[in-house]
Amino acid sequence: MLSHVGMLSWSSEINQIPVNVRAITDSSLDPLIPGGDALLRFVDAVLARSTVDIGAAVAVVMAELGQAGLVDAAAVIGNFQMMNRVADGTGMPVGAGSRRRHADLIDQLGLDRFDHTDDA
Amino acid sequence: MTTEEEISIRPDLAENLRRTWADLARPGAKWTGAQRLAIAAEARRARDRALPGSNLPGPATEASRLLAVNPAAARRSWVETLVAAGLDHKSYVELLGVVGRLVAVDTFYEALGLPPRPLPAPVAGEPSGEISAQARPGRGWVPMVGGTSITQALSLIPSENAELERFHGPMYLTFGEMSDPTIAKGLTRPQMEVVASRTSALNECFY
């Protein structure tokens, strides 16, 4: 998660698109980027495996981002279902440099609660 | 329910799904094609909250199920227990790759309202026994090549790591494309990262 919140922050800055990264862990907040809220609801529905909620979320993503956006969102979710398992299943550590670079994000989003790489 | 024909899937993505599915059925480094499909089926059963139903060894059944439904619960001590019970690191790494891709493809289909893709028939043959001679223990829980890195996570079995990398590109970005903050496909890069970050948050994956 830390890697991609960092990439979200970095890519938004380069593209000069405002973003509220706290929306990643706080569902009451709007991420600000175009289509961002629809994408967050879509991820929530897919991970919950709720057929009804997926149907509703798909309609919103289709309306805001079109079919290509919907298919790519589904693919990205699938990819990170895999990568999260690979990272957690191999005990992939976050390096000290990355921790330092993203200390503000770790603090803002309370990410340390997810760190179990050393059986913490 | 939607059908695959009603959804326009990019050709490279469709080919990736087809190739990945075929790969699941082939003999790997430590598991036969039938065993790899049994791992995939066990992962599916776990996600569907069904009881275990394979002839896999107990540690492989346990690993398939936990990695499918609750990977954040994995711990170094858990992996060490599996290894002590006979699921060696090579078998574990290959199993992890199979479960990861199975869950990825099933999630993709579910997200689009498509029925699950039926598992293919197994391809006959013996496991290759492939293992990297360069892999070494590091900060992670399994040996890797060239230090502990997410891009080398499955490198104890080079074909598994290559398969992970091949799968990753069409689904999201290639490892090379990840350095481009302005890249866009059906989504802009920030939109991709919103999806990646939220998925990882819900899976409670710190990395």
Q: Are B10 and B2 in contact (CB under 8 A)?
A: no
Task: Render pLDDT for A37-85 as a digit per residue (tens, 0 to 9).
Answer: 999 999 999 999 998 899 999 999 999 999 999 999 999 999 999 999 9
A17 lies within 8 A of chain B by CB: yes
Interface TM-score (ipTM) > 0.85: yes
Chosen for mutation from A24, A47, A71, A102 (greatest number of chain B CBs closer than 10 Å) is A71
Q: Are B31 and B94 in contact (CB under 8 A)?
A: yes
Task: Render pLDDT for B168-195 as a digit per residue (tens, 0 to 9).
Answer: 999 999 999 999 999 999 999 999 999 9
Which chain A residue's Cα is nearest to B156?
A90
Amino acid at B68: A
**pTM for the whole thing?**
0.96
Which chain A residue's Cα is nearest to B93?
A90
Rounded to a whole number of angstroms, the distance from the CA of B123 to the nearest CA of chain A is 23
A97 lies within 8 A of chain B by CB: no
Chain B residues with CB under 8 Å of A107 CB are none
Chain A residues with CB under 8 Å of B100 CB are 81-83, 85-86, 89
Along chain B (207 residues), what's the average pLDDT of each consecutive run of 10 residues? 79 96 98 98 98 96 98 96 97 98 98 96 98 96 95 97 97 97 97 98 95
Distance, CA of A92 to CA of B20 (rounded, Å): 24
Distance linking the first and last C-alpha atoms of chain A: 17
Amino acid at B120: P
Looking up tokens 């009881």, which residue turns up? B51
From chain A residues 67-96, the ones with a CB under 8 A of any chain B CB are 67-94
- Nearest-5° Cα angle at B62, B57 to B63: 100
